[in-house]
Amino acid sequence: MSIEAAVLTGEPETVGAGRARKRSAGSDVPYRILIGAFAALIGAVLVLYFYSIIDQSIPGWQVAGWHFFYGTNWNFFNRQYGALPLIFGTLITTTLALVLAVPVSIGAAMAIVFLIPRRARLAVSSIVELLAFVPSVIFGVWGYLTIQPWLDRTVQPWLVKVFHHNWPFNTNGSGFGLMLGSMVLAVMIIPTITAITRDVLIAVPAELIEGGLSLGATRGQVLRRIALPTSRTGIIGAITLGAARALGETIALFLLLGALDPNHPFPRGLNSGLATLSTEIVANFGQLSGTKPLGVICCLSLVLMVIVGLTNLAARLVVRRSLQRLQP
Amino acid sequence: MESTTENSTMENSPRQSAATVGIDPSIVSMVDAIPSNAPVVPVMRLKDVAVSFNGKVAVRDVTFDVGKNRVTSMIGPSGSGKTTLLRALNRLHDLTKSAVVTGSITLDDVDIYKGGIPTTLLRTRVGMVFQRPNPFPTMSIYDNVASGLRFNGIKKKAFLDDAIEHSLRAAALWDSVESRLKVAAATLSGGEQQRLCIARALAVEPEILLMDEPTSSLDPVSTQHIEDLLTSLKEIVTIVIVTHNMQQAARVSDDCAFLLMGEDRAGELIEFATTEKIFTNPTDKRTLDYIQGRFG
């Protein structure tokens, strides 16, 4: 019943309630405006960002054309704009990093939550969180100074010998390249995935774990069949965040990936050098002249954004499908 | 004929004795007529059981026998150690490093804490239903009931199908879920979820079913369903139930353990007897006070 109607029918109690309601609604308005403005601000930044980057990339598309997506000849200085090797480089480094990082991270998170004694848990957790906050340039320098010489002098010669120059260790590397980049990338994203997976596993209700144990399950069975499935949404989220960090990683990979071989734009093996979308952006950004090269750089940025966006979307779809599986 | 007479005297005598000690007759009338002639066979025996956490005693001095195919209730005010004691019976305290259980708890004369029986096997023989329904959220109704059997290595579909129908029927849930066994368990109502958890526990065919206030989160109608269920369930399984609700203990149980928090804040067993005796003619003054609602 509206306030006017209540006044007309003359029901004193309803009128009173109506006034109280009006007052409280009034006090709500500034709050609504404030949070609405914040939400609009985020939307505005996003729209502005996409507008400017699309706008700036137009000269780039005019130069590169569709060739950008299928051409394999990437050479920025010679104005060869086939970016497929870069797209491939971004995807392959991230994929390999995830292959290395996901099992380690989930295992580490499970150990932190279910295996390590309670007293040690805090220490281990803190170290993992600390690692997640280390700036990527530090990982890059560490890989450059420590891992690269080790790979170059010890690991790669041995692997090449063991594999008799067969794929994927078919080239005599310099230490720099796909293997080094993916390894350091994995080390960088392991703390992120571990920390989030740990939080998700801790949130599994004790009553579910006790429910499983009370049916005669071992702790391992409870972990695999109850704790992990219950947390899969969160774990997929953790992996997505790790993937997003890996896809966009720039400076560490710039230091570690070596050089793109123009004769072999796609890496021939794990020891080969390569480039990614983000490393090419940073490699060429300081040496720009004219709107057309800048446009090409903006094309790279746009494609990178789309890849990250699609990864996020894919993760959401996986989550939704796994949630829907059980619906009627 | 004989049994009828016996029942009627049983109905009458508790009320009369209750009236003499001043207990609300409405509670007493709930006490079931107990099949008094059947000899009580102890299936689980507790002797001087105590549970402590970090050296602090939570419950102690507990000695009683759980009779086969009977419902044993544990009553007492909050903090009296009912749930702590119940969780000792299937070694759920093993999860807590600081928990120590002393005394002896035997299942068919085997001490469950002295390595006589693997913990996982013990928990299939002594199942548990929890305060809040806890169906596994990622599993369907079918998979929930099958989970205990699968944990124990049973994969044969025909066997599982059979066991699941049987368990769901025993939990009075089959008729309402038969057509939607593959649906997520979370779509059931609270009362149905709790019956699902009972079916899940029954599927591994335990000898004893522990129930920790199984109706405390349910509405009155669902509570009624579960209570009705207990009476039929005790033909296939021995039940130990913790309840806050005295009327419930009076309605469903055959034997009753009354626990109370002592002066040092540790719970202890005050009295164990048939439910009829506890509610009509308790030995200990404190039991009488509790039954009469003087504290708690």
CB contact, 8 Å: A210 with chain B? Answer: yes
- B93-106 pLDDT, tens digit each: 998 888 999 999 99
Report the residue from A118, A210, A230 with minimal CB separation from B138: A230
Residues of chain B contacting residue A229, judged by C-beta atoms under 8 Å apart: 136, 138-139
Percent of chain B scoring above 70 in pLDDT:
86
**How many CA atoms does the CB half-sphere of B276 hold within 13 Å?**
14
Contacts of A255 (CB under 8 A, 6+ apart): A140, A141, A143, A144
Tokens representing residue B42 in the block: 């102890």
The whole-number average pLDDT for the span A55-65 is: 91
Given a cut of 60, is residue B86 above it in pLDDT? yes
CB contact, 8 Å: B120 with chain A? Answer: yes
Q: Which band of pLDDT confidence, cut at 50, 70 and 90, is reported for residue B27?
A: low
Q: How many residues does chain A have?
A: 328
Residues B206 and B126 sit within 8 Å (Cβ to Cβ) = yes
**Alpha carbon separation from B202 to A64, B170, B253 (Å, rounded):** 69, 8, 19
Q: Give residues 159 to 178 of B whose Cβ lies within 8 Å of A.
A: none
C-alpha A105/C-alpha A190 separation (Å) is 5
Which residues share a beta bridge with B182?
none
The whole-number average pLDDT for the span A300-319 is: 91
CB contact, 8 Å: B280 with chain A? Answer: no
Q: Which band of pLDDT confidence, cut at 50, 70 and 90, is reported for residue A321?
A: confident
**Alpha carbon separation from B31 to B28, B98, B144, B162, B249 (Å, rounded):** 5, 39, 34, 36, 8
Give, in words, the CATH class of B34-291: alpha beta
Q: B interface mutation test: which of A207, A208, A214 has the most B CBs within 10 A?
A: A214
Whether pTM > 0.90 for this model: the answer is no
Tokens representing residue A188 in the block: 């960088």
Judge: B183–A214 Cβ closer than 8 Å, yes or no: no
Residues A196 and A237 sit within 8 Å (Cβ to Cβ) = yes
**Topology of domain A65-326, CATH:** MetI-like fold (1.10.3720)
Q: What is the DSSP letter of A169?
A: S
CB contact, 8 Å: B231 with chain A? Answer: no
Judge: A217–B128 Cβ closer than 8 Å, yes or no: no
C-alpha A57/C-alpha A283 separation (Å) is 18
> Is the ipTM reported for this complex over the cut 0.90?
no
Judge: B136–A232 Cβ closer than 8 Å, yes or no: no
CA of B255, closest CA in chain A: separation in Å? 24
The residue written with tokens 């009076």 in the block is: B250
Residue at B125: amino acid letter: R
CA of A195, closest CA in chain B: separation in Å? 23
Given a cut of 50, is residue B203 above it in pLDDT? yes
